[in-house]
Chains A and B, each alone.
Chain A
C-alpha cells in the first residue's frame, strides 16, 4: 500500500531483505505433519525463464493469489522487447519479481530471496541479484551441455560448487511435469509447456497461497481447449504435491495478510496501465462526456488501448489510427465535437504528436496526452522504464506552447492521475500531459476500490448562446472570450445553433478568434495562454518530515516514489533525519513548492534521467538542487538510494 507518504508504524520494516536460509526475518516456527512452517514478514520472489516459458503469466498468477490472500505487494515485470528472443540466450530472459508482506511495502524489492530459474540463461542473468543465502530453485532438465555453453557456462554451475553460498533446490521440472501429464494424451511439446504451472504450484505450496483462483483462471483461459486446461491444472497440483512430499523442501512459509497496513475497504490488485484505463472511463462517466481514444500501438502503452477497446458498453470509442499523428489528430477532432478525448503513447509517439499538441494549445481544446515513458532516445529500450520525457512534455513544441503535466507516483495512483488530468483539461480547455512510465504501467499493487460517489465531479457546461454584445447591439458569439477566473475559453461544440465559428492554428485576435497578425495581440495571446496554465489550481505539495529537524529534502516525481520512500524509511530507522516530498504536478508546480524548497539546506532529486526535474527546479527557484540519477532501464533500488541520501546528509 503506497498511497501515503509514510506512517511511523511502517518504518519498522522495509529493511534489507531477510535471508530465508537464516532465521533472520522468521517470526515464529511450528511443525505440521513432518514439515516445518515458518512465519515471515515479507518475501521477494523472482521467476525467471525464457521469453517463451510463460514467466509473466506465472508471476501474474502468483500475484493474484497473493493479492486475494491479503498481503501488501509490489511487482516488477522485466522482459525483452523481442516477442520471442532467441531461446536459451541471456537477452531472451524474461523475469517477474514480486515483493509481498504482512505490512505496508513500497517497492518490488532490491534483491530476491527466492529465484526460480527455468534454464541456465535465467540463472546466469539473475544470480548477481540474489544475496548469499538466498534460495534458488532450478530446472535441472535444462542444464544440458549445449544450453550451458550457449550462455558461457564452461562447467555445470549446479555441480562445480559455484553456488555453494546459496540454498539450491535442483528440481527436474520438465521431467516431473511430463510425468504428471503422461496420461493426459498431450503431445510431449504441449505437456512440456505446462512446466511453469508446476513451478507455480511448488511456490504456491511453499508460501501457502490459495489455489482456487489459479485453477479457475486456467479453466477459463483455456476454455476452448479443455485438455490443455486440465493439463495445466494437473501440473499446478503436481507442483504443489511435490513440495508437500519431497524432503528437499522441508520448510514452507507463511506471510500473514497485511491487515493493519490497509484502511478498511474493498481491495483488488491493479497495474498502472489498467488503473489508467479505468481512470479514463471514470473521467468520462464523471464528466458526462463520451470517451474517445485515438491511439497507435506502442510499447508500453498498448495495453491501455486494448483495455479501453473492451469497454464499448461504456460508450467508449477506440480508434487505432494509421500513425501517431493521426491518433492525436482524431482525438483532437473528437474533442472539437465534445468528447473527452485521449491519445496514449510513449516517448517516440509524443515526438510525432508534438505539432498537434501545439495545435491543441492554440485551439484551446481539452485533450489528454498519455505518455508511458520508456528508455530513449529514439527506439531506445521499449520494455524498460525511464523518466526522460519530462522536458519533452514541458518544452517539446514550437513556439510558446505551455502544457500542464500530471505524474502518478504508484501503479494504483494512475487512476487518480487520469481523473486529475481530465479535470485540468476540461476545466481549462487545454491539452494535458500525463507522464506514467514502464515501471508503473506493468507493475501492480493493491488498490482500495473507490466508491463511485467519492470520485470528483468533472461536469462541464458547453457554450449554449451568445456571449458578446456588439456595438450595434447585436448578440454574437466570441470563441476566445475567456472566463475571468480560469482564463478558459468557451467550449462550443458543432450542432449548437448560433455559435458557428472557425478556429485554427493561426494566431487569433483576443476575443473574436479572427485571424490576427497584430504584434501587440500576439504578445498578449502568448502571455495569456501561459498565464492560463500558470494559474491552474493544483494541490500543495506535502512534506514528510516527522522530526521537523531534517536539513535535507529528497524531492521526487513519478515512479521513483516507492524506492525513495523506502530509502527514506531506512535512513530514519538508522536515526538519520531526512525530509521527503513528491511531485504529482510538474506544470504548474504546486504554489508552495518554492517555500518548501527554501526551508532546507539541501535538496536532492533522484530521477531516472540525467536530472530533468532538477534542471526545472534550479531554473525556477534558484536553489542548488542536486541530482542523483540512474538510467539503467530499471527502477532505483532502495538501498542504493539510501546510501546516496546518507552521503548527501553527511555533507550538510
Chain B
C-alpha cells in the first residue's frame, strides 16, 4: 500500500460547503451510545472502526455528516455513528440520500449498503445515482451472501453456490459491481477490503475528496454464512500473487519477489492480461491512470476478476479504479435555481397567482 504523500483532501473542493468542526475530533466523537449488534467476528466491525477513526481526518462539523442506509446487516451502520442518520428501507438509500444531498449542499452524505441492498432490490437507484453524479459516498459492503435473512445467495454470489434457497447450486450469473458502476457512468469507483484498515482508509480519503458520487466496494467477510470468501486476498501466502494494488501513474505489477507479475494490454483485442514480468515485456506493462477520461481502462481492470474467482491465476485489483471530474448534480441544480432568479427575478407569489389573464368583479 502506498503512503499518501499529500492527502487528496488537501486540495479537494468536494466538502467546501460543509462547515468545519470546531476543535480537534477523535474517533470517540463518532461512536454513538448504541450497542453494536453484529455477529462476533463479522467484517462489519472492522469497517465501522475504520470509518469512525477516519472521520476526524475530514474535520467536518459532526452535525453536518449524515449516514443513510437501506436494509441488511451492513445497513445497521448509521445507528453506530454519532452523526445524523437514517436507516431506511430495502434498496432505497441512494434515492433518499439523493433528495437529502440535492437539497442540502452543506451536508456530507454517506450511503451504507450491501450487495443485496444495492445490487438486487435497489439496483435501479444505484445506477441512477451514479449517472447523476450526486455528491454521495456509497460504501457497498460486499459479502456475497444475504446475511440478515439467514444465508440466501446474493447477486454477487458465484454460480453454483449452495445456499438455503439454492440447495442444488445457484443458477444466477453474478454482477461485477465495479463493471456495473463504470457502465453506469460512475465518476469514482474503488475497491478495498475490511481487513486492511490502512488501505480502506486511503480509499475513503480519495472518495471523500471526490466531487460527485463515489462508489466504494468493500469486500466484507460474513463469518456466519459465507466465511472465508476473501481468504485468498487476506492470507499472506496467497495474497501477494492474487491481489493487485493499484497506484495512479505506476505500472501495474504485483506478486512476490522473484515471481513478479504484471498487467499488459493485448494490442489486438484491447483486453488486459496478467503475465509474468520479464526484462523484454517490462516496458509494456500497463500504467494505471485513474483519471483517464475514457472508462475503458477502468472497465478493463474491473474485468480482471469477475468478482467471484479468487483462486489460482486470478488477480484482483484493489484501490481507486476511476476518479474523474464530471458535473455534479446538486451543483448544477443550485446553479439553475440561481440563474432562474437572475432571469425571472426572485419569485413573487402574488404575481404568480394572478397570472396574466385576470378580470375584476366589483362588489
Which A residues lie at the B interface, using CB under 8 A? 64, 67-70, 213, 259, 262-269, 278, 281-282, 285, 290, 292, 294, 311-317, 319, 321-323, 325-326, 329-339, 341, 355-356, 359, 363, 449-452, 494-506, 514-515
Closest 4 CB pairs of A and B: A264-B363, A504-B87, A330-B99, A333-B99
Report Cα–Cα, A69/B359, bound state, in Å: 8
Question: Is B88 an interface residue when CB atoms closer than 8 A count as contact?
Answer: yes
Question: Is B352 an interface residue when CB atoms closer than 8 A count as contact?
Answer: yes
Report Cα–Cα, A323/B357, bound state, in Å: 36
Closest chain-B Cβ to A164's Cβ sits at a distance in Å of 41
Closest chain-B Cβ to A487's Cβ sits at a distance in Å of 21
- Which of A213, A285, A355, A505 is close to B87, meaning CB atoms less than 8 Å apart? A505
CB of A514 within 8 A of CB of B360, answer no
For B79, the closest partner residue in chain A by CB is: A502
**Given A313-B344, A313-B345, A497-B61, are A449 and B99 also a contact pair (CB < 8 Å)?**
no
- Which of A315, A359, A495 is close to B337, meaning CB atoms less than 8 Å apart? A315
Report Cα–Cα, A140/B354, bound state, in Å: 41
Closest chain-B Cβ to A571's Cβ sits at a distance in Å of 29
- Which of B86, B124, B340, B347 is close to A502, meaning CB atoms less than 8 Å apart? B86
CB of B98 within 8 A of CB of A266, answer no
- Which of B82, B84, B98, B362 is close to A330, meaning CB atoms less than 8 Å apart? B98
Known: A449-B358, A503-B86. 17 other contacts (CB 8 A): A259-B361, A265-B360, A266-B354, A319-B98, A322-B124, A326-B128, A329-B99, A329-B125, A333-B98, A333-B101, A449-B354, A452-B350, A494-B64, A497-B62, A500-B63, A502-B81, A503-B87
- Which of B104, B344, B346, B363 is close to A338, meaning CB atoms less than 8 Å apart? B104
Closest chain-B Cβ to A69's Cβ sits at a distance in Å of 8
Residues of the A chain whose Cβ atoms lie less than 8 Å from the Cβ of B83: 500
Question: Is B168 an interface residue when CB atoms closer than 8 A count as contact?
Answer: no
CB of A68 within 8 A of CB of B103, answer no
- Which of A316, A319, A495, A500 is close to B99, meaning CB atoms less than 8 Å apart? A319
CB of A265 within 8 A of CB of B104, answer no
**Given A70-B361, A267-B359, are A355 and B89 also a contact pair (CB < 8 Å)?**
yes
Closest chain-B Cβ to A613's Cβ sits at a distance in Å of 30
Question: Is B58 an interface residue when CB atoms closer than 8 A count as contact?
Answer: no
CB of A312 within 8 A of CB of B336, answer yes
Output the residue of B83, B347, B350 with the most chain A CB within 10 A.
Answer: B347
Q: Name 18 A/B residue pairs within 8 A (Cβ), A-sorted.
A: A264-B361, A267-B359, A285-B349, A290-B103, A312-B337, A313-B344, A313-B346, A325-B125, A329-B88, A329-B95, A332-B88, A333-B99, A356-B92, A359-B89, A449-B358, A502-B86, A505-B87, A505-B88
Report Cα–Cα, A451/B363, bound state, in Å: 16
Output the residue of B62, B125, B352, B360 with the most chain A CB within 10 A.
Answer: B352
CB of A499 within 8 A of CB of B337, answer no
Question: Is B96 an interface residue when CB atoms closer than 8 A count as contact?
Answer: yes
**Given A262-B361, A313-B344, A317-B337, are A325 and B87 also a contact pair (CB < 8 Å)?**
no
- Which of A314, A355, A504 is close to B347, meaning CB atoms less than 8 Å apart? A314
Residues of the B chain whose Cβ atoms lie less than 8 Å from the Cβ of A503: 85-87
- Which of B78, B89, B344, B362 is close to A264, meaning CB atoms less than 8 Å apart? B362
CB of A500 within 8 A of CB of B353, answer no
Closest chain-B Cβ to A150's Cβ sits at a distance in Å of 39
CB of B124 within 8 A of CB of A500, answer no
Report Cα–Cα, A330/B132, bound state, in Å: 13
CB of B100 within 8 A of CB of A337, answer yes
Output the residue of B61, B62, B96, B346 with the most chain A CB within 10 A.
Answer: B96
Residues of the B chain whose Cβ atoms lie less than 8 Å from the Cβ of A332: 88, 96, 99
Report Cα–Cα, A69/B19, bound state, in Å: 56
CB of A336 within 8 A of CB of B82, answer no
Closest chain-B Cβ to A459's Cβ sits at a distance in Å of 15
- Which of B78, B84, B86 is close to A363, meaning CB atoms less than 8 Å apart? B86
Closest chain-A Cβ to B23's Cβ sits at a distance in Å of 12
Report Cα–Cα, A311/B102, bound state, in Å: 17
Closest chain-B Cβ to A465's Cβ sits at a distance in Å of 12
For B334, the closest partner residue in chain A by CB is: A317
Interface contact tally, CB-CB below 8 A: 204
Residues of the A chain whose Cβ atoms lie less than 8 Å from the Cβ of B101: 333
Report Cα–Cα, A311/B363, bound state, in Å: 33
Report Cα–Cα, A323/B107, bound state, in Å: 25
For B127, the closest partner residue in chain A by CB is: A322
Output the residue of A269, A325, A333, A452 with the most chain B CB within 10 A.
Answer: A333
**Given A313-B345, A334-B102, are A263 and B353 also a contact pair (CB < 8 Å)?**
no
Report Cα–Cα, A326/B129, bound state, in Å: 10
- Which B314-349 residues sit within 8 Å CB-CB of chain A? 333, 336-337, 340-341, 343-347, 349
CB of B124 within 8 A of CB of A329, answer no
Question: Is B32 an interface residue when CB atoms closer than 8 A count as contact?
Answer: yes
Question: Is B258 an interface residue when CB atoms closer than 8 A count as contact?
Answer: no
CB of A281 within 8 A of CB of B352, answer yes
Question: Is B73 an interface residue when CB atoms closer than 8 A count as contact?
Answer: no
Residues of the B chain whose Cβ atoms lie less than 8 Å from the Cβ of A356: 89, 92
**Given A452-B353, A503-B86, are A494 and B359 also a contact pair (CB < 8 Å)?**
no
CB of B86 within 8 A of CB of A268, answer no
- Which of B34, B345, B350, B355 is close to A268, meaning CB atoms less than 8 Å apart? B355
**Given A315-B337, A322-B124, A502-B87, are A494 and B63 also a contact pair (CB < 8 Å)?**
yes
CB of A265 within 8 A of CB of B355, answer no
Residues of the B chain whose Cβ atoms lie less than 8 Å from the Cβ of A290: 103
Residues of the A chain whose Cβ atoms lie less than 8 Å from the Cβ of B340: 311-313
Report Cα–Cα, A504/B85, bound state, in Å: 8
- Which of B65, B95, B349 is close to A452, meaning CB atoms less than 8 Å apart? B349
Report Cα–Cα, A209/B78, bound state, in Å: 64
CB of B341 within 8 A of CB of A336, answer no
Residues of the B chain whose Cβ atoms lie less than 8 Å from the Cβ of A449: 353-355, 358
CB of A68 within 8 A of CB of B357, answer yes
Residues of the A chain whose Cβ atoms lie less than 8 Å from the Cβ of B343: 313
- Which of B89, B92, B125, B352 is close to A278, meaning CB atoms less than 8 Å apart? B352
For A314, the closest partner residue in chain B by CB is: B347
Question: Is B203 an interface residue when CB atoms closer than 8 A count as contact?
Answer: no
Closest chain-B Cβ to A514's Cβ sits at a distance in Å of 7
Closest chain-A Cβ to B303's Cβ sits at a distance in Å of 26
- Which B46-90 residues sit within 8 Å CB-CB of chain A? 61-66, 68, 78-79, 81-89
CB of A281 within 8 A of CB of B99, answer no
Closest chain-B Cβ to A9's Cβ sits at a distance in Å of 15
CB of B362 within 8 A of CB of A501, answer no
Residues of the B chain whose Cβ atoms lie less than 8 Å from the Cβ of A335: 99
Residues of the A chain whose Cβ atoms lie less than 8 Å from the Cβ of B78: 502, 504
CB of B353 within 8 A of CB of A278, answer yes
Report Cα–Cα, A338/B100, bound state, in Å: 9
CB of B84 within 8 A of CB of A501, answer yes
Report Cα–Cα, A293/B96, bound state, in Å: 13
Residues of the A chain whose Cβ atoms lie less than 8 Å from the Cβ of B68: 333
CB of B363 within 8 A of CB of A263, answer yes
**Given A265-B360, A332-B99, A452-B349, are A322 and B85 also a contact pair (CB < 8 Å)?**
no
CB of B89 within 8 A of CB of A494, answer no
Residues of the B chain whose Cβ atoms lie less than 8 Å from the Cβ of A497: 61-63
**Given A319-B99, A332-B99, are A326 and B89 also a contact pair (CB < 8 Å)?**
no
Question: Is B209 an interface residue when CB atoms closer than 8 A count as contact?
Answer: no
CB of B88 within 8 A of CB of A359, answer yes
For B125, the closest partner residue in chain A by CB is: A326
Residues of the A chain whose Cβ atoms lie less than 8 Å from the Cβ of B276: none
Report Cα–Cα, A329/B98, bound state, in Å: 8
Closest chain-A Cβ to B139's Cβ sits at a distance in Å of 16
Report Cα–Cα, A269/B79, bound state, in Å: 51
Closest chain-B Cβ to A289's Cβ sits at a distance in Å of 10
Report Cα–Cα, A269/B101, bound state, in Å: 38
- Which B204-250 residues sit within 8 Å CB-CB of chain A? none
For A447, the closest partner residue in chain B by CB is: B353
Report Cα–Cα, A262/B358, bound state, in Å: 14
Report Cα–Cα, A356/B95, bound state, in Å: 11
Residues of the B chain whose Cβ atoms lie less than 8 Å from the Cβ of A451: 350
Closest chain-B Cβ to A280's Cβ sits at a distance in Å of 11
Closest chain-B Cβ to A157's Cβ sits at a distance in Å of 38
